[in-house]
Amino acid sequence: MAAANRLTHGPRDMLLSLLALLLIIGAILVANRACSFSPGAPQSDPATAPKVDVAAGLRRADAPFTVRNPSVPITWQGNSLSSAPIDTARVIRSGWLTPTNYIQLSQSNGSIMDLVAAETGSSSGATGTVDIAGVQWTIFPARRSEQAWVTDLGPSRLLITGDAPDPDFRTLASAATH
pLDDT tens digits for 34-57? 556 666 655 656 677 788 999 999
- By three-state DSSP, how is residue 49 classified? coil
Count CA within 13 A, CB hemisphere, residue 64. 10
Instruction: Supply the mean pLDDT for the chain.
Output: 87
Global confidence as pTM: 0.73
How far is residue 80's CA from residue 92's CA, in Å, rounded to a whole number? 11
Q: What is the pLDDT along the chain (178 residues), one digit of tens a residue?
A: 555 566 677 788 888 889 999 999 888 877 776 556 666 655 656 677 788 999 999 999 989 999 999 999 999 999 999 999 988 899 999 999 999 899 999 999 999 999 999 998 877 788 899 999 999 999 998 888 889 999 999 999 999 999 999 999 999 999 999 8
Task: Encode burial over 138-148: b for 16+ CB neighbours within 10 A, e otherwise.
Answer: bbbbbeeebbb
What confidence score (pLDDT) does residue 43 get?
Answer: 61
What confidence score (pLDDT) does residue 1 get?
Answer: 52
Please give the backbone phi and psi of residue 83, each rounded to the nearest 5 degrees, phi first. Answer: -140, 145
Rg (CA), the chain: 26
- By three-state DSSP, how is residue 42 classified? coil
Q: What is the DSSP letter of 155?
A: S
How many residues would you count in the chain? 178
